[in-house]
Amino acid sequence: MSTWEGFNRRRFPRVNYPCLVILRQLHNPELSDVILTHTENIGLGGLCVIIKKDLKIFTPVELELDLLDLGNHITCKGRVVWNVQRRDDESQRPLFFDVGIEFMEIVDDQQTQLRGIVERLLRKQDRQPTV
């Protein structure tokens, strides 16, 4: 079992669904750069993004997600729950971080919207033959 397969044994399954994410830090407005990125994966409990900034664990953030399903954007608060620096073989390239963010405040109708997408993708994933 690879390291990432172990990460997938979580309370909320995640699916690969690349959507646009706008992320802002909440704890320090002066340093609160807007970070534009996309999801690596997403689930009902949170998401993973790849960014160039080293966000510390427990950093509170504000998220806006464009789920590309023609519905409204999801806006909610979250917090960083893990952060892993990606390996970099070249000293000239910028460092990237895989960052796991837990949803903290998400309204019911947006949770329902997200649930529909995740469940649809999980069903589709289960029907695909393994190679």
Range of the domain at 13: 3-127
Q: How high is the pLDDT of residue 64?
A: 95
Q: How high is the pLDDT of residue 17?
A: 85
Instruction: Please report, for residues 67, 106, 116, the alpha-carbon distance to residue 43 in angstroms, rounded to integers and kept in the order given.
Output: 12, 13, 11
Res 82 pLDDT > 70 = yes
Q: How confident is the model at residue 29 (pLDDT cuts 50, 70, 90)?
A: low
Rounded to two decimals, what is the model's pTM?
A: 0.80
The overall average pLDDT reported for the chain is 82
Q: How many structural domains comprise the chain?
A: 1
Res 80 pLDDT > 90 = yes
| Residue 82, domain CATH | 2.40.10.220
